[in-house]
């Protein structure tokens, strides 16, 4: 008892004072303020946001929320990990992508340490003249929902449409199964991006630009619109990608055999027949579509592929023969990549189409009866081509193996 005598009381008192002072200096949450106390978040540039400031003395999970007059909490930040330091953040009235309605709120800044310590500071905030109208993406649509970006002319493009109800920044992208994002570019129209009105996205997977499309699979199409004050709207749809990729094919070894089937040489009299044989290979990763007439079809030199009702078909591949002095369009004589009954038939939108599968080769033959002089001379060059109709003719598939043919009388 002697040890606890009067001489120790001043010492304990000093220690207690020092301890309390030290605790005050190390307060978990300090210098908390929300200014101004009244905001008008309507993007007029006047008092649109409130600055939230605070200081943490050590690491904690921090929350900032508003409590409305009905007692409901609206979290601006929830359980965000923060280390010791000074912080500032602007609050513009938007919580969860939506502007809070006009009214008087209690703001709360709350910190919770790992050992369960809690510090909380609160105050008043008034929201008035707020822009609570969210931008809407009305009529959001995706067509077709199964997309085959391989330049075969069938479901190669997907159209995404919506009507934007108010001015807003809009982003549209594919979200893959692995979380990868593929942004989509808006098609140029009379309505500028972000303006109210109808908007269209014309997406071909990048194949038309020589890029590989996203991998085959099921995707989410996500459109996000955010106006000037932060009101946000999200709409989604689904899209399946199948048989996607750049089509690749060529005339094997760039080798074409031109000959007169009656004599085996390269002399063809008027009224005689010029024949050819070549091989086509699909060396890409996607099927390629073809149309007739069948390999082996016989032409007269005054005919062309339209004669057989096999008109140019965007996205189809055909072998063509052209010649020096041709007065009409390129490659007037065209043949399918083999016999159609030997190719893979696919039903698309109620019609049957024919495909040469990857890593497959076909032999293509044909004949042309020379009924008139195709050029104003006796020796005329003929050559072959592999045509991707309404898409392109690759340089290595154009003007392939030109050979001089003697046209006799």
- Residue 72, in any domain of the structure: yes
Compute the distance between CA of residue 106 and CA of residue 73 in angstroms, rounded to an integer: 9
Instruction: Tell whether 269 and 181 lie within a shared domain.
Output: no
Q: What is the pLDDT of residues 217-237, one digit of tens each?
A: 999 999 999 999 999 999 999
Q: What is the pLDDT of residues 272-292, one digit of tens each?
A: 999 999 999 999 999 999 999
Is the predicted pLDDT of residue 311 greater than 50, yes or no? yes
**With pLDDT > 90 as the criterion, what percentage of the chain qualifies?**
87
Is the predicted pLDDT of residue 10 greater than 70, yes or no? no
Instruction: Tell whether 319 and 404 lie within a shared domain.
Output: yes
**Model pLDDT, residue 210:** 87
Nearest to 384 by CA among 397, 369, 368: 397
Instruction: Tell whether 270 and 395 lie within a shared domain.
Output: yes
Query: Which of 222, 241, 260 lies at the terminal end of a domain, its last residue?
Result: 241
Q: What is the pTM of this model?
A: 0.81
Per-residue tokens: 285: 């990763």
Q: What is the pLDDT of residues 81-131, one digit of tens each?
A: 999 999 999 999 999 999 999 999 999 999 999 999 999 999 999 999 999
> Average pLDDT for residues 35-46, to the nearest whole number?
96
> Average pLDDT for residues 127-144, to the nearest whole number?
97
Sequence-separated (6 or more) residues with CB below 8 Å from residue 340: 290, 292, 294, 354
> Average pLDDT for residues 19-27, to the nearest whole number?
47
Q: Check if the beta carbon of residue 187 is closer than 8 Å to that of residue 162.
A: no
Q: Which of 75-89, 253-267, 288-302, 366-380 has the lowest mean pLDDT?
A: 366-380
Q: How many domains does the chain have?
A: 3
> Average pLDDT for residues 303-323, to the nearest whole number?
97
pLDDT band of 409, cuts 50, 70, 90? low
Q: What is the DSSP string of 276-318?
A: EEEEEEE-SSS-EEE--SPTT-EEETT--GGGGT----TT-EE
Ranges of beta strands (E only) in 177-307 are 181-183, 197-203, 217-226, 232-241, 249-251, 257-259, 267-269, 273-282, 288-290, 298-300
Q: Check if the beta carbon of residue 243 is closer than 8 Å to that of residue 271.
A: no
Please state, rounded to an integer, the average pLDDT across all residues of the chain: 92
Is the predicted pLDDT of residue 260 greater than 70, yes or no? yes
Nearest to 34 by CA among 69, 3, 79, 65: 65
> Average pLDDT for residues 21-45, to the nearest whole number?
83
Sequence-separated (6 or more) residues with CB below 8 Å from residue 78: 63, 65
Q: What is the pLDDT of residues 149-195, one digit of tens each?
A: 999 999 999 999 999 999 999 999 999 999 999 999 999 888 999 99
Domain that includes residue 110, residue range: 28-127
Contacts 24+ apart (CB under 8 A), 372-379: 372/270, 372/301, 372/302, 373/270, 373/407, 374/301, 374/323, 374/324, 374/325, 374/326, 374/407, 375/323, 375/324, 375/325, 376/325, 377/325, 378/406, 378/407, 378/408, 379/404, 379/405, 379/406, 379/407
Compute the distance between CA of residue 223 and CA of residue 184 in angstroms, rounded to an integer: 10
Query: Which of 208, 241, 274 lies at the terminal end of a domain, its last residue?
Result: 241
DSSP 37: S
**Model pLDDT, residue 19:** 33
DSSP 95: E
**Model pLDDT, residue 377:** 80
CATH number for the domain including 103? 2.60.40.2550
Instruction: Tell whether 260 and 389 lie within a shared domain.
Output: yes
Instruction: Tell whether 167 and 235 lie within a shared domain.
Output: yes
Instruction: Tell whether 399 and 256 lie within a shared domain.
Output: yes
**Model pLDDT, residue 204:** 95
Instruction: Tell whether 401 and 271 lie within a shared domain.
Output: yes
Nearest to 397 by CA among 281, 306, 244: 281
């Amino acid at each position: 008892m002697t040890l606890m005598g009067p001489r120790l009381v001043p010492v304990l008192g000093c220690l207690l004072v020092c301890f309390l002072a030290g605790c005050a200096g190390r307060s978990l949450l300090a210098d908390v303020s929300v200014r101004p106390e009244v905001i008008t978040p309507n993007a007029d540039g006047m008092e649109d946001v409130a600055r939230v400031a605070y200081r943490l003395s050590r690491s904690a999970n921090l929350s900032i929320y508003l409590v409305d007059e009905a007692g409901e909490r609206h979290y601006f930040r929830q359980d965000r990990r923060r280390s010791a330091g000074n912080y500032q953040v602007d609050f513009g009235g938007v919580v969860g992508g939506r502007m809070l309605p006009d009214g008087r709120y209690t703001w709360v800044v709350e910190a919770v340490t790992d050992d369960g310590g809690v510090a909380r500071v609160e105050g008043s905030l008034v929201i008035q003249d707020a822009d609570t109208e969210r931008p809407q993406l009305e009529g959001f649509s995706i067509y077709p929902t199964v997309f085959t970006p391989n330049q075969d002319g069938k479901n190669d493009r997907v159209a995404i449409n919506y009507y934007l109800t108010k001015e807003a920044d809009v982003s549209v992208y594919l979200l893959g199964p692995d979380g990868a994002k593929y942004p989509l570019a808006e098609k140029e129209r009379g309505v500028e991006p972000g303006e109210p009105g109808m908007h269209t996205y014309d997406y071909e997977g990048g194949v038309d630009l020589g890029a590989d499309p996203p991998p085959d699979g099921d995707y989410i199409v996500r459109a996000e619109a955010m106006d000037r004050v932060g009101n946000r709207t999200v709409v989604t749809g689904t899209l399946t990608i199948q048989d996607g990729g750049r089509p690749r094919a060529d005339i094997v070894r760039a080798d074409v055999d031109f000959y007169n089937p009656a004599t085996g040489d390269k002399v063809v009299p008027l009224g005689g027949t010029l024949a050819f044989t070549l091989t086509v290979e699909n060396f890409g990763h996607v099927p390629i579509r073809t149309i007739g007439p069948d390999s082996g079809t016989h032409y007269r030199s005054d005919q062309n592929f339209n004669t057989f009702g096999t008109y140019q078909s965007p996205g189809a591949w055909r072998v063509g023969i052209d010649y020096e002095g041709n007065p009409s369009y390129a490659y007037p004589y065209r043949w399918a990549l083999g016999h159609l009954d030997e190719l893979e038939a696919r039903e698309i939108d109620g019609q049957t189409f024919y495909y040469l599968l990857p890593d497959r080769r076909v032999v293509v033959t044909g004949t042309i009866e020379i009924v008139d002089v195709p050029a104003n001379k006796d020796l005329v060059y003929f050559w072959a081509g592999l045509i991707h109709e309404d898409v392109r003719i690759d340089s290595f598939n154009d003007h392939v193996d030109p050979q001089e043919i003697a046209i006799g009388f």
